[in-house]
Amino acid sequence: MTSVLKLENVWKTYDLGETKVNAVQGINFDIAKGEFVSIVGSSGSGKSTTLNIIGALDKPTKGKVFLDGIDIAPLDDSKLARLRGKTIGFIFQTFNLNPNLTVFENIALPMKIHEYSRIEIKKKVGDLIKLVKLDHRIDHLPRQLSGGERQRVAIARALSTEPAILLADEPTGNLDSKTGFAIMELIVDLHKQGKTIILVTHEADIANYANRQIVLMDGKVKEDKK
């Protein structure tokens, strides 16, 4: 199986003046293409730090991270941003849509920056809107959508540039349980279509949707179960 994400003995230490905090301590795991993995942990487990490292938002103090086969350590900010934009589709708890752009424009924006042609954008956005079942909302602004609909747009946007990894950070955290269930069903469908999904959550029932769970505690991998 092809590895899309590999962490080798990753440490992250924050220097707080007189004290140093090891937020992540020697983490190892390897995620293959097509896997659906949840990273679970309570507050203080190192979950957020791990998310930042996986998302190439932060570099480890020690150890190596390979994103889609590329070692991120020697990359400068600009190259790292490019790799991040190309390799990872982010889904956030708070949706983070641009309030001034329509559904179509929000989904199309990353594609424009990644130099897709107008024809490709029209076709791809059309396909994605159907995939997330929002054909009827294409010209609406985010404020005209429900929370669940906004998250569907965010998912379509995350998929727009065909990233190697879909990284979902508490994707149901701002939704009621029924809407959250529908979003998780959509994420499961995406996995069935071959997408690699990494879901970061503190909720055990949400983590259970994944086929593999990496449980973090005190900055270490406590359990890696399939």
Partner 1 sequence: MNLKIITIILIVLIAVSAFSTFVVLNPERGQKRFSDLGEAKEGKDFLVLKESLSLEEDASITEIKIALGLSENASPEEFRQVLIDNNLGGRLK
Chain positions contacting partner 1, by CB under 8 A: 55, 57, 77-78, 80-82, 84-86, 89-90, 92, 96, 98-101, 105-106, 108-110, 112-113, 157-158, 160-161
In the complex, the smallest distance separating the C-beta of residue 96 from partner 1, rounded to whole angstroms, is 4
Enter the tokens of residue 12: 């992250």
Name which of 114 and 220 has its Cβ closer to partner 1: 114
In the complex, the smallest distance separating the C-beta of residue 167 from partner 1, rounded to whole angstroms, is 10
In the complex, the smallest distance separating the C-beta of residue 9 from partner 1, rounded to whole angstroms, is 26
What is the CA 99 to chain-centroid distance, rounded? 21
Name which of 171 and 219 has its Cβ closer to partner 1: 171
Collapsing DSSP to helix, strand or coil, 131 comes out as: helix
Enter the tokens of residue 76: 């400068």
Name which of 141 and 217 has its Cβ closer to partner 1: 141
What CA–CA distance (Å, rounded) separates 218 from 25?
8
What is the Cα gyration radius of the chain? 18
- State the Cα angle at 224 between 60 and 191, rounded to 5°: 90
In the complex, the smallest distance separating the C-beta of residue 80 from partner 1, rounded to whole angstroms, is 8
Name which of 11 and 92 has its Cβ closer to partner 1: 92
For residue 72, count CB atoms less than 10 angstroms from its CB and return exposed for 0-12, middle for 13-18, buried for 19 or more: buried
